């Protein structure tokens, strides 16, 4: 079956794939994987998350996030620290290298809004955001 843009699911899928490809290319230019970029940006805004909290924010499985955090820690971007009051709780913090790398990465939201702005007015972008949020809420 051929996907066409007159179907909502197809239109959303095509837009998502194109956005994902844009993100992948931008990440390659900065020599970082897209999943690492997302984790660094999230930790920059919410430092000290647990694996479960980070997984939830990035819509991924804990097992996948553990592997990602292992790599980020190995490469010096993050460090794990046990919570003093409960040694079972391990929080993830950016290192100086993680902070510096994060600051060197472009803001993908602004980047993508700039791309969308070539075809959409600011009002259309706001309407699209509202509609996508409504759609997302209806799927939960």
Could you tell me the domains of the chain? 26-106 (1.10.10.10), 107-140 (no CATH)
Average pLDDT, the chain: 90
Among 61-65, 80-84, 95-99, the range with the most confident prediction by mean pLDDT is 95-99
What b/e sequence results for 36-73 when a residue is b if at least 16 CB atoms lie within 10 Å of its CB, and e otherwise? Answer: bbbbbbbbeeeeebbbeebbebbeeeeeebeebbeebe
Tokens of 4: 């066409």
Task: Specify the higher pLDDT residue, 13 or 6.
Answer: 13
- 1 falls in which pLDDT band (50, 70, 90)? very low
Give the global pTM.
0.79
CA 93 to chain centre: 17
Report the pLDDT averaged over residues 25-45: 93
Residue 4: per-residue pLDDT: 55
- 5 falls in which pLDDT band (50, 70, 90)? low
For residues 123 and 129, give the distance between their C-alpha atoms in angstroms, rounded to a whole number: 10
Predicted confidence (pLDDT) per residue in 68-82, tens digit:
999 999 999 999 999
Report the pLDDT averaged over residues 119-136: 91
- How many residues does the structure list for the chain? 140
- 2 falls in which pLDDT band (50, 70, 90)? low
């Amino acid at each position: 079956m051929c996907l066409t843009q007159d179907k909502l699911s197809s239109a959303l899928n095509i837009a998502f794939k194109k956005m994902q490809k844009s993100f992948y290319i931008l990440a390659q230019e900065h020599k970082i994987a897209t999943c690492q970029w997302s984790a660094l940006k999230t930790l920059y805004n919410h430092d000290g998350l647990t694996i479960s909290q980070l997984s939830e924010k990035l819509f991924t499985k804990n097992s996948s996030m553990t592997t990602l955090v292992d790599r980020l820690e190995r490469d010096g971007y993050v460090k794990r620290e046990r919570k003093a009051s409960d040694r079972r709780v391990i929080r993830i913090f950016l290192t100086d290298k993680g902070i510096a790398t994060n600051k060197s990465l472009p803001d993908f939201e602004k980047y993508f809004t700039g791309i969308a702005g070539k075809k959409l007015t600011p009002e259309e972008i706001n309407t699209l955001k509202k509609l996508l949020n409504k759609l997302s809420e209806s799927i939960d």
